[in-house]
């Protein structure tokens, strides 16, 4: 909290600590810390150091810190420390407070509604509420009040106050003995104490840990050593205030991790507990607010000093002294908005945090630690998402050899059977293919050592009913550093792993066995033209011959005196007309030709027709002589879906399966229904199995896979497969890495 007693006091946690800071010309605040809050004290000091370096020229003042470390449970010592600093004229105190006061700003958000939303998300109707402080009873009351808004009732079977870790363990052990059902436990205790209690439960082999589901009431889920719970069987859900991928948090942690723990106790690590983050944000909040006041009114501090006649608060003085800065600073703080280590920092008129977001994490034996959603204060509801798994921090080491997971599939990843230059192959030299070359180029560009590891189950990655992923996705989540393979970018996969920009664009297409070419026969010369064209040519031939005969009969120019018999004769008898027309069609000509104008017009038209037909026939004949003709049983996905003779399928787990499963297009829905119901199954486990099934089915099986793979296989000996139709969709291959990878 930030509070003004007559100066502001910042309340940040329910833990025991009070922080102050001051400036050169006027005391702003100093710090009183609990002796156990080492990291919070160091974060407070480090943030003041960063503020002075970044804002001293902007705000024209320099912040100093004066801290006291004591046992916060000693009320006498705390009172003396407060009186000492207030008598110096300090303006702000950062500390803990459970009271509502008009002179307070609360750094720690109120999130009881988030707890209710998660409980409703899981569908719980019974919750065991365990607490360890007096504030736990207040939160229990808030819990009942919050559930009334949802018209839901959470039955608290047992409400117990935990006095120690051992006491908490005994209560859970007793609960396990008397209740033969699943136990939903809301632990309203500090994160470190909750971790100790759960570990103690896990250590008892007589307890069925799978029956426990713990919901942690603190805000530092990721502060626990979550790897301890991966094999324990318990189910744990909790909230995380500090997003490790927040830009402000990353910047602070970058300098925090470089501090020498010898001079900065608790620093020098890549983690920061949320209480320390709240303390650091409290420093930044007060600095921004005070700097804003001085920017608006440079004489603000001097004028308020004169108004109080230079007097300060003295605990031994009966007179009432009010320092004028308190109210002004308080109001200015409520206006401040910024992105802090704990996310978006903004305050309501009552001094409470607003518009903040809490990430919700879950850890279970079946999948490890995963982000399952988030709760937003502005919307007031929990947003569930596909579990986004976090990596084991033990595998994060920048200088180690990286594990690149892949899958065998031509032409991307293949085994090289013949040694280069007769020399034995070592390490990864026995691999070749597009993805192998890509990996070497990326490693050279980025600068890292690597080794390949084939995915154990041979699949690309599907979301399983138990909440885990198999295949390449699962390998990336658990221990692999990178996946370079024919690995399709999908929305579901992008929820749990990160992808680069695509390195190849492609689509889903259909592969069938190449049909047997049509053999040559006696009438093969007629194939360049269809039977309809040949029939038209025959009728045209007869028609033109008859017209030429009639024209010659009626035209006097076609009649002449015979040289032998001295009689009148006509050369274009019906037989000669047929012969003339045939000779012209065959481009050979004959001994007679029409003399009359009508006859020559008919002949010219026929010659022109013959020229077009012969030219077209010659062109088609050349193509038919050089290209084998094949009759494919299907030409598209529509043809495939409408027939029942040819079976079709794809890999049982992968993006192609997800495409048909989630498609809203009627044709693809029909295809998915067929594939899902077909017996024996039409799905295959690997690409090689699908290719083998196409080749051995004698044209009765179609394999649906990536278009680039089909093109490669179809143009490679024995060239017995064929791609039919266009692509069914547009996909892309990308390089995948775990979430937040340094690569």
**Burial of 25 (C-beta count, 10 Å sphere; 0-12/13-18/19+):** exposed
State the angle between helix axes of 574-585 and 597-626 in degrees (0 to 180), rounded to the nearest 10. 40
Is 452 in contact with 407 (CB distance < 8 Å)?
Answer: no
Determine the Cα–Cα distance for residues 582 and 584; give it in Å rounded to an integer.
5
Tell me whether residue 680 is annotated as binding. no
Tell me whether residue 478 is annotated as binding. no
Alpha-carbon separation of residue 688 from 87, 383, 630, 657 (angstroms): 82, 41, 25, 17
Tell me whether residue 708 is annotated as binding. no
SS3 192: helix
Half-sphere exposure of 623 (CA within 13 A, CB side): 9
CB atoms under 10 Å from CB of 69, counted, come to 16
State the angle between helix axes of 531-554 and 597-626 in degrees (0 to 180), rounded to the nearest 10. 160
- Nearest residue to 712 via CA among 509, 516, 518: 509
Determine the Cα–Cα distance for residues 181 and 235; give it in Å rounded to an integer.
15
* Largest Cα span, the chain: 161
CB atoms under 10 Å from CB of 259, counted, come to 18
Determine the Cα–Cα distance for residues 202 and 418; give it in Å rounded to an integer.
54
The secondary structure of residue 516, as a DSSP letter, is P
Which structure tokens are listed for 655?
Answer: 């993006």
Tell me whether residue 468 is annotated as binding. no
Tell me whether residue 486 is annotated as binding. yes
Determine the Cα–Cα distance for residues 492 and 584; give it in Å rounded to an integer.
70
Tell me whether residue 650 is annotated as binding. no
Tell me which H or E stretch contains 32: strand 31-34
For 224-276, strand residue ranges (E) read 235-240
The secondary structure of residue 349, as a DSSP letter, is T
Is 650 in contact with 703 (CB distance < 8 Å)?
Answer: yes
Determine the Cα–Cα distance for residues 607 and 609; give it in Å rounded to an integer.
5
H helices present in 574-706, as ranges: 574-585, 597-626, 637-642, 655-662, 666-677, 687-696
Query: Binding site membership: which residues?
Result: 486, 488, 493, 655-656, 706
Known binding-site residues for L-glutamate equal: 486, 488, 493, 655-656, 706
């Amino acid at each position: 909290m930030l509070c003004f007693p007559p100066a502001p006091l910042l309340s940040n946690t329910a833990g025991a600590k009070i922080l102050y800071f001051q400036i050169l010309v006027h005391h702003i605040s100093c710090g009183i810390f609990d002796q156990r809050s080492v990291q919070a004290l160091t974060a407070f000091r480090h943030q003041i150091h960063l503020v002075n370096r970044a804002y001293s020229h902007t705000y024209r003042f320099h912040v100093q810190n004066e801290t006291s470390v004591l046992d916060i449970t000693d009320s006498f010592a705390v009172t003396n420390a407060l009186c000492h600093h207030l008598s110096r004229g300090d303006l702000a105190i950062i500390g803990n407070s459970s009271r509502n006061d008009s002179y307070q700003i609360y750094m720690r958000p109120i999130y009881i509604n988030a707890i209710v939303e998660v409980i409703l998300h899981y569908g719980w109707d019974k919750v065991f509420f365990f607490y360890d402080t007096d504030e736990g009873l207040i939160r229990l009351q808030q819990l009942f009040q919050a559930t009334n808004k949802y018209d839901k009732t959470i039955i608290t079977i047992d409400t117990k106050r935990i006095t120690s870790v051992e006491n908490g363990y005994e209560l859970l052990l007793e609960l396990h003995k008397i209740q033969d059902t699943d136990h939903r436990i809301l632990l309203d205790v500090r994160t470190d104490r909750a971790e100790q209690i759960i570990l103690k439960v896990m250590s008892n082999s007589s307890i069925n840990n799978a029956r426990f589901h713990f919901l942690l009431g603190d805000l530092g889920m990721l502060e626990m050593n979550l790897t301890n719970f991966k094999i324990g069987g318990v189910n744990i859900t909790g909230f995380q205030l500090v997003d490790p991928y927040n830009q402000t948090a990353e910047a602070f942690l970058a300098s925090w991790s470089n501090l020498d723990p010898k001079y900065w106790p608790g620093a020098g690590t890549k983690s920061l507990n949320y209480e320390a983050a709240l303390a650091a944000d409290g420093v930044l909040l007060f600095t921004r607010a005070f700097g804003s006041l001085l920017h608006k009114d440079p004489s603000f501090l001097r004028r308020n000093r004169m108004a109080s006649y230079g007097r300060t608060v003295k605990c031994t003085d009966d007179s009432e002294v009010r320092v004028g800065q308190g109210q002004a600073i308080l109001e200015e703080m409520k206006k401040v908005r910024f992105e802090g280590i704990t996310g978006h920092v903004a305050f309501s008129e009552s001094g409470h945090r607003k518009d903040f977001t809490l990430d919700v994490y879950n850890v279970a034996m079946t999948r490890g630690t995963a982000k399952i959603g988030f709760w937003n204060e502005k919307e007031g509801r929990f947003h569930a998402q596909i579990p986004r798994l976090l990596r084991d921090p033990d595998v994060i080491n920048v200088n180690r050899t990286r594990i690149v997971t892949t899958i065998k599939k031509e032409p991307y990843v293949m085994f090289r059977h013949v040694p280069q230059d007769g020399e034995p192959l070592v390490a990864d030299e026995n691999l070749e293919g597009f993805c192998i070359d890509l990996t070497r180029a990326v490693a050279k560009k980025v600068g890292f050592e690597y080794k390949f590891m084939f995915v154990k189950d041979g699949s690309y990655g599907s979301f399983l009913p138990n909440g885990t992923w198999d295949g390449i996705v699962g390998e990336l989540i658990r221990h692999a550093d990178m996946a370079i393979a024919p690995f399709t970018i999908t929305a579901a996969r992008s929820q749990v792993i990160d992808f680069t920009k695509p390195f190849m664009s492609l689509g889903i297409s259909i592969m069938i066995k190449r049909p047997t070419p049509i053999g040559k026969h006696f009438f093969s010369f007629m194939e360049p033209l269809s039977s309809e064209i040949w029939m038209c040519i025959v009728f045209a031939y007869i028609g033109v011959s008859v017209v030429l005969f009639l024209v010659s009969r009626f035209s006097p120019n076609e009649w002449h005196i015979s040289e032998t018999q001295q009689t009148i004769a006509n050369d274009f008898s019906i037989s000669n007309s047929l012969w003339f027309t045939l000779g012209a069609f065959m481009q050979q000509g004959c001994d007679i030709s029409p003399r009359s104008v009508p006859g020559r017009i008919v002949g010219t038209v026929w010659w022109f027709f013959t020229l077009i037909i012969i030219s077209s026939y010659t062109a088609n004949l050349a193509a038919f002589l050089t290209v084998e003709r094949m009759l494919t049983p299907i030409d598209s996905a529509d043809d495939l879906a409408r027939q029942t003779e040819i079976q079709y399928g794809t890999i049982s787990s992968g993006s192609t399966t997800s495409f048909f499963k989630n498609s809203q297009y009627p044709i693809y829905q029909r295809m998915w229904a067929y594939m899902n119901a077909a017996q024996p199954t039409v799905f295959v486990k690997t690409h090689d199995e699908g290719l083998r099934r196409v080749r051995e089915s004698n044209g009765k099986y179609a394999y649906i896979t990536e278009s680039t793979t089909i093109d490669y296989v179809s143009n490679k000996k024995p060239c017995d497969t064929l791609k039919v139709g266009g692509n069914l969709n547009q996909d892309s291959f990308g390089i995948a890495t775990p979430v937040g990878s340094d690569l």
